[in-house]
Amino acid sequence: MDNAIKLEGLVRDFGGTRAVDGVSLQVPSGQVLGLLGPNGAGKTTVVRMLATLLVPTAGTARVGGFDVAREAARVREIIGLTGQYASVDEKLTGRENLILIGRLLGLKRRDARARADALLEDFDLRDAGQRPAQTYSGGMRRRLDLAASLVGRPRILFLDEPSTGLDPRARRDLWERVRQLQAEGTTVLLTTQYLEEADALADSIVVLDQGRVIAAGTAAELKARVGARSLHVTVIDPAAAARALEVVSRVSGQTVQADGEHLSVPAPDPALVPAVLRALDAAGIDVAEMGLRGASLDDVFLSLTGHGAPAGNAAEDAA
Ligand X SMILES: Nc1ncnc2c1ncn2[C@@H]1O[C@H](COP(=O)(O)OP(=O)(O)OP(=O)(O)O)[C@@H](O)[C@H]1O
Taking the complex as a whole, the smallest distance from the CB of residue 191 to Mg ion amounts, in Å, to 6
Least distance in angstroms from the C-beta of 273 to ligand X: 33
84 counts as binding Mg ion under rule CB under 5 A? yes
Residue with smaller CB distance to ligand X, 208 or 244: 208
d(CA 117, CA 140): 15
By the rule CB under 5 A, 44 interacts with Mg ion: yes
Measured from the CB atom, the residue of 37 and 154 that comes closer to ligand X is 37
What binding mask, one character per residue, do residues 76-95 give for ligand X by CB under 6 A, x or -? --------x-----------
If the CB atoms of residues 84 and 218 are measured against Mg ion, the closer one turns out to be 84
Residue 41 phi, psi dihedral angles, 5° rounding: -70, -25
Q: Which amino acid is at 68?
A: V
Tell whether residue 87 is a contact of Mg ion (CB under 5 A).
no
In this structure, are residues 102 and 116 in contact, taking their beta carbons and an 8 Å threshold? Answer: yes
Picking from 152, 142, 143, 148, the residue whose alpha carbon sits closest to that of residue 186 is 152
Question: How far, rounded to the nearest angstrom, does the alpha carbon of residue 191 sit from its chain's CA centroid?
Answer: 4
Which partner in ligand X, Mg ion, none is near 162 (CB below 5 to 8 A by kind)? Answer: none
Q: Put the strands of the sheet holding 17-28 in their side by side order.
A: 17-28, 3-14, 58-63, 66-67
| Given 34, 37, 102, 139, the residue binding ligand X (CB under 6 A) | 37
Residue 70 CB partners (closer than 8 Å, separation 6+): none
Half-sphere exposure (CA, 13 Å, Cβ side) for 23?
A: 36
Q: Return the residues of window 178-237 that contact ligand X according to CB under 6 A.
A: 193
User: How many of the chain's residues bind Mg ion (CB under 5 A)?
Assistant: 3
Helix axes 272-282 and 241-252, enclosed angle (nearest 10): 140
The reply on whether position 230 binds Mg ion by CB under 5 A is no
Span interacting with Mg ion, options 48-56, 81-89, 93-101, 216-224, rule CB under 5 A: 81-89
CB of 37 to Mg ion, least distance (A): 9
Interface segment toward ligand X; rule CB under 6 A; list 23-31, 171-179, 294-302, 309-317: 309-317
The site partner of 315 among Mg ion, ligand X, none (C-beta below 5 to 8 Å per kind) is ligand X
Residue 40 interacts with ligand X (CB under 6 A): yes or no = yes
Task: Give, as ranges, the residues between 127 and 156 that touch ligand X (CB under 6 A).
Answer: none
Q: Which does 41 bind (CB under 5 to 8 A by kind): ligand X, Mg ion, none?
A: ligand X
| Residue 116 binds ligand X (CB under 6 A) | no
Interacting stretch for ligand X, rule CB under 6 A, among 43-51, 102-110, 169-177, 254-262?
Answer: 43-51
Residues that bind ligand X (CB under 6 A): 14, 17, 19, 37, 39-45, 84, 193, 313, 315-316
Residues that bind Mg ion (CB under 5 A): 43-44, 84
